[in-house]
Amino acid sequence: MKHSSAKLSALAAGLLLGLSGLNAQADTGKLLLTGGVSSIDGAAGGGLTPWAVIGSNAEDGEIGFSANVTAAKTQDYGLKTYGVAVGIQNRVELSLARQDFDASPAIALNGIAPFGVTPGQHINMDIIGAKVRIAGDAVLDSDSLMPQIAVGVEYKSVKPGSIGSVLDFLGTKTSGTDVYVSATKLFLAQSVLVNATLRSTNANQNGLLGFGSGAPGKNSRSIVPEFSIAYLLSKNVAIGAEYRGKPNNLEALGRAAGLGGGLKEEAWKDIFIAWAPNKNVSLTLAYVDLGRIIPGITPKRQTGVYLSGQIAF
């Protein structure tokens, strides 16, 4: 069940119209866009990777709230995410996210074995996240070399539907936990923000294909890097790029099963522009390159567009 470009455009137009029409007037001490946007996993940061910043507009002594919706479309797949987050005293962030992945091409797996994948199958994944700022302040320390540092955890539970038989064949689990540490540095005078994250994970395609692998695949955790850089064109417009490394747990299993590199996992990348008309609303548009996702059934690179909207108080 592929989403058409027309449907994605309609969703994007509706999102832009609805969010641009908001007229919240709350004022806070945070600078526009320095708190990041919402990642697909629910944590504040870039679209693909978390930053050390704490979501919402809450400063010390305050509690804030944010909500987001995201749509992404590549040649063969589609992803929608919805999330909410609470920021507590600019120190702690708690988040919830739901991912809805259109995995329609997976029906081709029935030609390899009688997996019973049904047409138009979607994969849903719920993510519970927590992040704690442990050192630094991205804005207050912008005139020094000290970054803001945070540690985070994301518990993920996937509901694969009829693709569950495929996950059983691969020997993957349907739940797992990612742990990460992020360092975010804002060079305010140069209008540049950089972030580096190290993630400990055993998730396949962020968890949408389960966690770990049966032998001879890799079942242990991997430490993978993630990077973001953003340049503030003005006080409310930023451009940037992201890179998210992946553990590639399943390739060895696929080769042993005679699939060659058909289960290889590749890094995710994007180039984005973010606009914040005020401190309560931000919109992010990106070109995404998700590499080859299950190249045994969809051999071309999965590139496309990503649109995300967030409200924060």
Number of Cβ atoms within 10 Å of the Cβ of 264: 20
**CA 155 – CA 178 distance, rounded (Å):** 6
Q: Which amino acid belongs to residue 133?
A: R
* Model pLDDT, residue 36: 84
**CA 309 – CA 68 distance, rounded (Å):** 6
**CA 303 – CA 289 distance, rounded (Å):** 4
* Model pLDDT, residue 65: 95
Q: Which amino acid belongs to residue 262?
A: G
Tokens of 152: 């985070």
Residue 117 DSSP symbol: P
E strands of 78-221, at which residues? Answer: 78-88, 92-102, 122-135, 148-159, 175-187, 192-201
**CA 65 – CA 198 distance, rounded (Å):** 26
**CA 87 – CA 221 distance, rounded (Å):** 29
* Model pLDDT, residue 34: 79
- The number of distinct structural domains making up the chain is 1
Closest to 48 (Cα-Cα) out of 300, 308, 250, 313: 308
Classify residue 1 by burial, with Cβ atoms within 10 Å: 0-12, 13-18, 19+.
Answer: exposed
Domain harbouring 123, CATH code: 2.40.160.40
Rounded to two decimals, the pTM is 0.89
**CA 117 – CA 165 distance, rounded (Å):** 8
Q: Say how many CA atoms lie within 13 Å of 150 toward its Cβ.
A: 27
* Model pLDDT, residue 35: 80
* Model pLDDT, residue 253: 96
What is the chain's pLDDT, residue by residue, as a tens digit (313 residues)? 344 444 444 444 343 343 333 333 334 457 888 788 999 999 999 999 999 999 999 889 999 999 999 999 999 999 999 999 999 999 999 999 999 999 999 999 999 899 999 999 999 999 999 999 999 999 889 899 999 999 999 999 999 999 999 999 999 999 999 999 999 999 999 999 999 999 999 999 999 999 999 999 999 999 999 999 999 999 999 999 999 999 999 999 999 999 899 999 999 999 999 999 998 999 999 999 999 999 999 999 999 999 999 999 9
Structural domain for 143, as ranges: 5-312
